[in-house]
Copies of this chain bind each other. A is one copy, B any other.
Amino acid sequence: MKRRLINQETGELEDKSVIKSVTIDCVIFGFQDGKLEVLLIKHALGIKKGEWGLPGGWIKKEEGIDLAANRLLKELTGLGDIYLEQLKAFGDPNRFPEGRIITIGYYALINKEKYDIKAGFTASEASWFKLEEIPELIYDHNEILNFSLKKLRHRVKHAPIGFNLLPEKFTLLQLMQLYEEILGLKMDKPNFRRKFLKMKLLVDLKEKEKDVSHRAAKLYKFDDRIYQKLTEKGFSFEF
Contact = CB atoms under 8 A, between A and B. Distances in A.
Interface of A: 5-6, 8, 11-13, 19, 21-22, 59, 61-66, 68, 86-89, 91-93, 100, 102, 104, 154, 158
A102 to B, nearest CB: 6
25 contacts: A5-B13, A6-B6, A6-B11, A6-B13, A8-B11, A19-B21, A19-B100, A19-B102, A21-B21, A22-B22, A22-B91, A59-B91, A61-B100, A62-B100, A63-B93, A64-B93, A65-B89, A65-B91, A86-B88, A86-B89, A87-B88, A89-B89, A89-B104, A102-B104, A154-B158
A68 B11 CA distance: 30
Q: Which 4 A-B pairs have the closest CB atoms?
A: A65-B91, A89-B89, A89-B104, A64-B92
Q: Number of copies of this chain in the oligomer?
A: 2
Given A8-B11, A88-B88, A89-B104, 20 more contacts: A6-B12, A6-B13, A11-B11, A19-B21, A19-B100, A21-B21, A22-B91, A59-B91, A61-B93, A61-B100, A62-B93, A63-B93, A64-B92, A65-B89, A65-B91, A66-B91, A86-B89, A89-B89, A91-B104, A154-B158
Contacts of A22: 21-22, 91, 102
Contact of A88 (B6, B89, B91): B89
Nearest to A13: B5
A13 B62 CA distance: 21
Contacts of A86: 88-89
Residue from A59, A86, A100, A104 having most chain B Cβ neighbours under 10 A: A100
Contacts of A21: 19, 21-22
